[in-house]
Amino acid sequence: MSDTPVIKRIKPRRPHGLKVIIHLDDNSEPFEVTLEALERSGLGRGDTLTRTVRHELLNHDADVRVRDAALNLLSYRARTRTELRRRLRQKGFRPARVDVCLNHLQERGLIDDASVAAAFVRDRLRLRPKGRSALASELRQKGIGQELAQQTIDHVFESEQTNDLTLAQAAVTKWVGRQTPEALQALIDDSWSKAKQKVRRRLT
């Protein structure tokens, strides 16, 4: 009698049936894989599951899971390659597997750092205006390289016909518009008082 286990039963896992539970005839613990991985392997009920075959099946399964996790993250919002890699590593996927997955997604145009950077800068200018230096810093945190960040900021600023001075003036105007007349008067009085104190110190 062979010591190699045989697939005794394949049970779909509900509710969606995109994963299955594989039961072996050696009474070992059943294990779960994605239906796609099982289909890739070509395995079915009655097939023997050698260590090599099982290893290949689990590799297929891990490839499917990391891809699905990446696509799920992208379904919420566009992300840079660095952001995706960071999140997938946090989920426990191995670095080499993550990199292979991201390469495939990038080849298919699903990862585009330049587009993400441009969209981010435009959103910042529209919702929370910031100068070039602050934008470049935020882009670096997203994993955008210095050269691409600078090119993106230059392009967006040119297309939006804005610059650091315009943004600063808009920020001041917005801030002043939120203040009450009393608060503005208090600020003016305080500034005038400090100015008079400086003059007195210089004259004494």
State the pLDDT at residue 127. 80
- Share of the chain residues as helix, strand and coil, in percent rounded to the nearest 5: 65, 10, 25
Task: Sketch the domain layout of the chain as residue ranges.
Answer: 7-107, 112-194
Q: CA nearest 142: which of 53, 78, 58, 69?
A: 78
| pLDDT in the model for residue 158 | 82
Provide the residue-wise pLDDT of the chain in tens; the chain has 204 residues. 468 999 999 999 876 778 999 999 998 999 999 999 999 999 999 999 999 999 999 999 999 999 999 999 999 999 999 999 999 999 999 999 999 999 999 999 999 999 999 999 988 888 877 888 899 999 999 999 999 999 999 988 887 766 554 545 444 445 445 556 665 466 556 555 554 455 455 454
- Residue-level pLDDT at 183: 58
Asked if 156 contacts 132 with a C-beta cutoff of 8 angstroms, the reply is no
Cβ atoms 121, 153 nearer than 8 A: yes
Is the model's pTM score more than 0.95?
A: no
CA 135 to chain CA centroid, nearest Å: 17
Sheet holding 7-13, edge to edge: 7-13, 19-24, 31-34
CATH of domain 7-107: 1.10.10.10
Residues 70/24, Cβ–Cβ less than 8 Å: no
The label of the residue with tokens 């005038």 reads 192
Among the listed residues 95, 102, 2, 103, the one whose alpha carbon sits nearest the alpha carbon of residue 49: 2
| CA–CA distance, 141 with 123 (Å, rounded to integer) | 16
